[in-house]
Structure 1
Amino acid sequence: MATALKPQQDMSEAERAARQELAACYRVFAHMGWSEMIYNHITVKVPGEEGAFLINPYGMHFSEITASSLVKIDIEGNVLAPTEWHVNRAGFVQHALFHKHIPDAHAIAHTHTTAGMAVSSVEGGLQPVNFYACNFVGQLGYHDFEGVTVRDEEGPRFLESLGNKRMMLLKNHGILVMGKTLPEVFIKHWALQRACEIQIQTMSMGQPIVVPDDIVAIHQRDLHHTQIPGGAGAAGFAAMVRLVDRTDKSWRE
């Protein structure tokens, strides 16, 4: 039985809860096959601490991450709590930018899934050819690939590509999702990943059936009827955490 994250004098209850939720999310992503060895990132703001967020330790697989191993860092790159681990600059640059400039980006996920990278690497990107894709028509930004994201000067172009949206396909690169809560980010990533997987399979079979714009509009209008109380993604995320818990509860530590 995993023990709870040990209290620390300088850690608030809100930070402790955020750490455990984020660690659980990393384990869920690993379970779903969305990890990329030691790369890619999911981050959350530390509640009540301006400019501080939690990020994965560079060198640790998603399936190994625990609440206490997460690195606390600020948007200037200062590590705010003792750690033996480094932070991947390619993740810091992108996530710090959005946490700084997008007030409602409490949580952010960036992955290199095969399906996400494949769809981001073709002209036209995601197409309205399946149920899940119709969720996102008109709601995705696209950002041209400029190489590994380690240069601060790319920041203004990232923000311009995002505009007023909260999801992007980074061309030739992968998926970027942000949201007001971590469960919201999880469910958006899950649905976008499914949309990409199904598009790849559909395109391999022949000419797809394209959903007309008016039907897409009806679909998006009515999606809220499928939600249950608790907030976007909360029930689905909780179900996946229970699934992960059946084999390993060490993420709480």
Structure 2
Amino acid sequence: MFELPQLNLKDKVSDAEWQTRIDLAACYRLAYLHGWDDLIYTHISARIPGTDEFLINAFGLAFDEITASNLVKIDLQGNILDKDCPFEINPAGFTIHSAVHEVRHDAMCVLHLHTNELISVATLKNGLQPLSQYSAFALASMSYHGYEGLAVNEDEKARLQADLGTANFMLLRNHGGLTCGKTIGDAFMHMYDLTRACQVQLQVQATGQELIEVDQSIVDNIKAQANVVHTGLTGGQKSWPAMLRRIYRLDPSFAS
């Protein structure tokens, strides 16, 4: 059995980078806990504060193997910046994540997943419909990107960037979903909302009954309402500490 290299970068990187590594590794473990992983084939990235460098998973590691120290640091050209790094990165993951980080300086974190629910709704011609409170959250900042095959072509980046615009939610047709956030917690909660919205939509559509849609005026106002609920903070800021406590209780090895 292949044993993972035992790495420890805690005292070899800045405090800001180490905290980003802790939060990003926790996000990978939480994605695994929610059943959002796809073997080794999806990605979550985070920009290191104050830099154009970002962290992403090593290609070949499962989400439940990700730790703060085995995340790979790369630049926007895909160069691995960790000295003596024993890992590689997924070229398709680099294309998608670098495209977003290149133009969205407000997006510290980007989640890209392939769950059945995300792919199913992304494949529907009308995409996500206003059928639940969760869908209202997502539809307040939704975008779509057409399927172009495996995301390894450099020229796809410009089209993905144009399609994403300033949105924080994206459905990639026939492929999956993507969320952005000012913090790792925000991006995680956006994906939670998008996933729940897709799950609910598929379940209610499967009943074959007449559906009641959320009025567009409510969707337009949902951001202001969410701000009231979270007392001026973002959903990620309110929920992320609880998520961290949960993953520390279940398996604190992610923080090594």
Map 1:163-202 to 2 at 5 A.
163-202=165-204
Deviates more, 1:215-224 or 1:148-157: 215-224
**Map of 1:38 onto structure 2:** 40
**Map of 1:66 onto structure 2:** 67
**Map of 1:115 onto structure 2:** 117
**Map of 1:95 onto structure 2:** 97
Give the TM-score normalised by structure 2.
0.92
1:30-78: per-residue Cα shift (whole Å, max 9, x none)? 10111111111110111233x2100001111111100000001111111
SS of the residue aligned with 2:60? coil
**Map of 2:250 onto structure 1:** 247
- Corresponding position: 1:161 with 2:163: yes
Q: CA deviation at 1:238?
A: 1.9
Instruction: Say if 1:86 and 1:6 are closer, same or farther in 2 by CA, change over 3 A.
Output: closer
Q: CA deviation at 1:229?
A: 6.3
For 1:59 and 1:93, locate their aligned partners in 2 and report how far apart those are by CA, in whole Å. 17
If asked which structure has higher relative contact order (CA below 8 Å, sep 6+), I would say 1
For 2:154 and 2:190, locate their aligned partners in 1 and report how far apart those are by CA, in whole Å. 27
Structure 1: segments with no counterpart, 5+ residues: none
8 Å contact kept, 1:134–1:220: no
**Map of 1:214 onto structure 2:** 217
8 Å contact kept, 2:44–2:111: yes
**Map of 2:79 onto structure 1:** 78
For 1:239 and 1:139, locate their aligned partners in 2 and report how far apart those are by CA, in whole Å. 25
Q: CA deviation at 1:136?
A: 2.4
CA RMSD of aligned residues (A): 1.7
Give the TM-score normalised by structure 1.
0.93
8 Å contact kept, 2:140–2:223: no
SS of the residue aligned with 1:99? helix
**Map of 1:54 onto structure 2:** 55
| Counterpart residue identity of residue 217, structure 2 | D
For 1:144 and 1:48, locate their aligned partners in 2 and report how far apart those are by CA, in whole Å. 32
Q: CA deviation at 1:5?
A: 5.2
For 2:168 and 2:220, locate their aligned partners in 1 and report how far apart those are by CA, in whole Å. 18
Instruction: Say if 1:5 and 1:229 are closer, same or farther in 2 by CA, change over 3 A.
Output: farther
SS of the residue aligned with 1:177? strand
Instruction: Say if 1:72 and 1:218 are closer, same or farther in 2 by CA, change over 3 A.
Output: closer
- Corresponding position: 1:13 with 2:29: no
SS of the residue aligned with 2:235? coil
Q: CA deviation at 1:148?
A: 0.7
Instruction: Say if 1:210 and 1:7 are closer, same or farther in 2 by CA, change over 3 A.
Output: closer
8 Å contact kept, 1:5–1:16: no
Q: CA deviation at 1:208?
A: 1.6
For 2:121 and 2:9, locate their aligned partners in 1 and report how far apart those are by CA, in whole Å. 42
| Counterpart residue identity of residue 88, structure 1 | N
**Map of 1:133 onto structure 2:** 135
Structure 2: segments with no counterpart, 5+ residues: 1-6
Instruction: Say if 1:101 and 1:192 are closer, same or farther in 2 by CA, change over 3 A.
Output: same
SS of the residue aligned with 2:111? strand
- Corresponding position: 1:232 with 2:241: no
Q: CA deviation at 1:219?
A: 3.8
| Counterpart residue identity of residue 118, structure 1 | S
Q: CA deviation at 1:159?
A: 1.3
Q: CA deviation at 1:235?
A: 2.8
| Counterpart residue identity of residue 160, structure 2 | F
Q: CA deviation at 1:195?
A: 0.4
